[in-house]
Structure 1
Amino acid sequence: MKRVVIIGSGNLAEALARAVAKSDLELVQIFARNAERARIVAELTATDWATHPEMLARDADIYLIAVSDRAVEHVAATLPIPQGAAVAHTAGSVPLAAIPAKFARRAVFYPMQTFTKGREVDFPVIPIFLETPSAELRPELEAFARKLSGAVIWATSEQRAKVHLAAVFACNFANHMYAVGERIVHDAGLDFDVLKPLIAETAAKACDARSPLDVQTGPAVRNDFATKARHSDLLSFDLRLKNIYSTISQSIWETSKKI
């Protein structure tokens, strides 16, 4: 498989288009409802774009559906994608069954990474999780994926759902904690920059360690009651944050006792 159509124009669609355009694959078209975004992504990757179903390219080898989770099934069922082509969605938590069974060459192509418009990522190191019921498509899909990344993993829909859940904790929740930290240092009259070296070292330690459990630090892992009480008092202005602090601290302590 060489000729690629990307359906969608969001964060993942843009990153995927950039990666395909840099590879020896051929990016045939960006198809999206949002004409402005479709044009922007197409210009970034020097390819064609379309917004109307009748303008969808019909001669691609694979159609990658990179839309919101809730739109995957509708897009796959309604767009005039040739039934002989490979059709794959890119969603972490959406089962393979979202692609209609009328497509004999249906699949999942899930790059597990956080994507942001205008920000390039190192795509060759991103784990790509694959799934297909077609024995014929399997080697073709893997060869296709390896043109974009060196980390290709076969996983069932059930496994992928758990991977996606893990990613929410490791990425989305962690980033929210950065935002909470920013709020607290701002309350102290300081800038978020004071936390950046700590954030960088914490992530680096977790990546370098055998397990993040091995490098857990802080008052919770020591069960430092006095410090936790002072922190709790400082959070009296926001009961929700106070409860989050207590819940996570307890989870850290309970987990650390099992090491």
Structure 2
Amino acid sequence: MKLSFIGAGNLAWHLAMAFENAGNFICEVYSRDEKNARRLVSMLYDARINPDLNFAESESELFVLAIPDDAIEDVAAQLVLPENALVVHTSGSKSLDILRRLMDIYSDVPVRTGVFYPLQTFSKGTTALHFEAIPLCIEASDQETETQLVALGQELSKIVYLVNSHERKVLHVAAVFACNFTNYLLGIAKDLTDTENLEFDLLKPLIEVTFQKALDARHPALVQTGPARRGDVNTLSLHLAYLSDKPSLLQLYRMLSDGIQQRS
């Protein structure tokens, strides 16, 4: 299949290369930041930079909106597509209906719409991820488009699901807790060790075992440990005293400890 990418950020970096590795062809890349577009194009077989959002003469069949959620409407308002093109967004939280309505409002030709959401965290410039183990969440405005997107997804991944907009939003919220908030807490742990001139590496075996236990357990809460889980009031008091000059961390520690105790 021939594709074009609108956006050249973290997701586009990995997804475009995955599509090409599966035998598809990337025709064009557009980005508001031409440097990003140029960098992505340099990693692809024979893609070119599209200078604007006019793709009327493109040979692509699929147009991938790999852009921030709050940019979708602005891009849709300027996007010019070939007739009967398929345009998908890659958002975890935006509904398919939003994209469908925007294309109905702004497109001068009939187009098909869908969602192609890889449930993973992406960082540009890192080693290309193995997409066969990344869940792909598919939604489409009609059966033919759904079949086409599922088949395309199966070229990339062994884990392809039909997920509606509500289910995808729930998965996205859960992913924020599992990924973004967890990473934030690890950053706090690094800051604390750095403040006391301790090696963060000392925590890495603990972090690895914690994640492995959570992944192996029937429910992560079943393998919860620590002073809050034990109801160890003395240790909790010592920790709170240490954090007394760090009000935001003190509040966070209390909130998380209370949550653990309420679940126990």
Match of 1:194 among 194, 199, 202: 202
- Unpaired stretches in structure 1, ≥5 consecutive residues: none
Q: What does 1:16-165 correspond to in 2, within 5 Å?
A: 16-46=15-45, 47-54=47-54, 58-99=58-99, 100-102=102-104, 103-119=110-126, 120-165=128-173
Aligned pair 1:10/2:26, yes or no? no
Task: Write the distance in 1 (CA, Å) between the matches of 2:91 and 2:159.
Answer: 17
Q: What does 1:206-217 correspond to in 2, within 5 Å?
A: 206-217=214-225
Q: Is the 8 A contact 2:55 2:80 kept in 1?
A: no
User: Which residue of 1 is the match for residue 240 of structure 2?
Assistant: 232
CA-atom RMSD, angstroms?
Answer: 1.5
- Per-residue CA deviations over 1:56-108 (Å, capped at 9, x if unaligned) read 76211111100011011221232112240111000111111232353552011
Q: 1:57 to 1:162 in 2, by over 3 A?
A: farther
Q: Is the 8 A contact 1:88 1:109 kept in 2?
A: yes
Secondary structure class of the residue paired with 2:32: coil
Amino acid at match of 2:117: Y
Task: Write the distance in 1 (CA, Å) between the matches of 2:135 and 2:56.
Answer: 29
Q: Is the 8 A contact 1:65 1:76 kept in 2?
A: no
Deviation, structure 1 residue 26: 1.6
Secondary structure class of the residue paired with 1:147: helix
TM-score by length of 2: 0.92
Point out 4+ residue stretches in structure 1 off by more than 6 angstroms.
none
Q: Is the 8 A contact 1:30 1:50 kept in 2?
A: yes
- Per-residue CA deviations over 1:121-144 (Å, capped at 9, x if unaligned) read 222111111111212211111001
Secondary structure class of the residue paired with 1:115: coil
Task: Write the distance in 1 (CA, Å) between the matches of 2:83 and 2:133.
Answer: 31
* Most deviating of 100-109 and 199-208: 100-109
* Most deviating of 65-74 and 205-214: 205-214
- Unpaired stretches in structure 2, ≥5 consecutive residues: 105-109
Amino acid at match of 1:3: K
Question: How many percent of aligned residue pairs carry the same amino acid?
Answer: 36
